[in-house]
Amino acid sequence: TETKHRRCGGDVKTRSTELGSAVTGSPLTAILPASTTGKKSIVLSSETRKELAKQAKVTKETRRAQIDERHKYLISRLADGIGLSEQQVEEAIISDDKFQLLEQFFAPSGLKKLLFFYQDVLQQKSNASLRSDGSTKDLLQKKLFITMGSTEDFTGTCAFFLRTSDKVITASNISQEVNFGIFDCSTGNILQGLEVFLSQIMIPALKSQQNWGAVKEGLKNSQIQDFLYSVDKFVGTLSSSRQNIEDKIQLTEVDIDIYVRNLQNPSDYITAG
């Protein structure tokens, strides 16, 4: 059923039945005005909410039954690195709509990286939950979620798993084939987070590395020494650039009219250049 509302500036069409069917198969009871985020809030009937909760519970239990030693390894690393319990991490993973990325990561020649963000996320609540001044500060809550790293802003902690080969990831080889790391941006400064990650984690780890594969003599090898020197130099340049951006570079608005008002012909431009 399509209901049309006439108002100044044109027709507004509301497809209540179609919208409800697309979400759950049940009609919507109301559509609220746009919220402070610019998105419309949809109020569902009690029957629809119960059906959604039932479906979500079934999905979570199905995923929980799929968890094996590979998943438990990831969960354990995440719990240790972020500071959550393994139960909290498991609940977050099986509730995530990107849960299938784990299987894609485990598959032969699968995803090369698996990213998790742990940061403040705006929780969806009714308009009644908003503060009287319309702010949403009280609705922010830390959440652990799976991400591809290209759609969400990074403002907290990133936990990452990297594959070292194209082999299928099994319970017996996951500790050898998968590397884990933490990148912290909770201060709000990504450059500072990268600087800390490289200077306090990666470089000490590289300098303590004894086995460099086909490269002989380890840290005594001139190529390895050149590589470590380049990494050290990069971190130094990164630190210097970050400090310049934060403290020393100040952009001010300039009125260029005073420079161009007297330019009349090409020779004037050449002289000014």
CB 162 within 8 A of CB 113: yes
The string of pLDDT tens digits covering residues 167-205 is 999 999 999 999 999 998 887 788 888 898 899 888 998
The string of pLDDT tens digits covering residues 213-248 is 888 888 889 999 999 999 999 999 988 888 888 776
Q: List the structure tokens of 140.
A: 């922010």
Higher-confidence residue of 165 and 6: namely 165
pLDDT of residue 249: 59
Q: Is the pLDDT of residue 58 over 80?
A: yes
CB 228 within 8 A of CB 207: yes
The whole-angstrom separation of Cα 150 and Cα 222 is: 38
Output the CA angle 94-97-98, nearest 5 degrees.
90
The whole-angstrom separation of Cα 76 and Cα 177 is: 16
Residue 131 confidence class, pLDDT cut points 50, 70, 90: low
Residue 17 confidence class, pLDDT cut points 50, 70, 90: very low
Percent of the chain with pLDDT over 70: 74
The string of pLDDT tens digits covering residues 36-46 is 445 555 667 88
Average model confidence (pLDDT) across the chain: 80
pLDDT of residue 272: 65
Output the CA angle 12-14-16, nearest 5 degrees.
175
pLDDT of residue 258: 65
Those residues whose C-beta lies under 8 Å from the C-beta of residue 2, and which sit 6 or more positions away, are 13, 14, 15, 17, 18
CB 104 within 8 A of CB 110: yes
pLDDT of residue 171: 96
The string of pLDDT tens digits covering residues 115-129 is 999 999 987 665 444
Q: Is the pLDDT of residue 28 over 90?
A: no
- For the ranges 59-63, 101-105, 133-137, 155-159, the lowest mean pLDDT is seen at 133-137
| Whole-structure pTM value | 0.64
Which sequence spans correspond to the domains of the chain?
49-123+139-186, 189-272
CB 228 within 8 A of CB 202: no
Give phi and psi for 178, each to the nearest 5. Answer: -125, 130
120 strand-pairing partners:
142
Residue 7 confidence class, pLDDT cut points 50, 70, 90: very low
Highest mean pLDDT: which range of 29-33, 88-92, 127-131, 151-155: 88-92
3 state DSSP class of 178 = strand
pLDDT of residue 250: 65
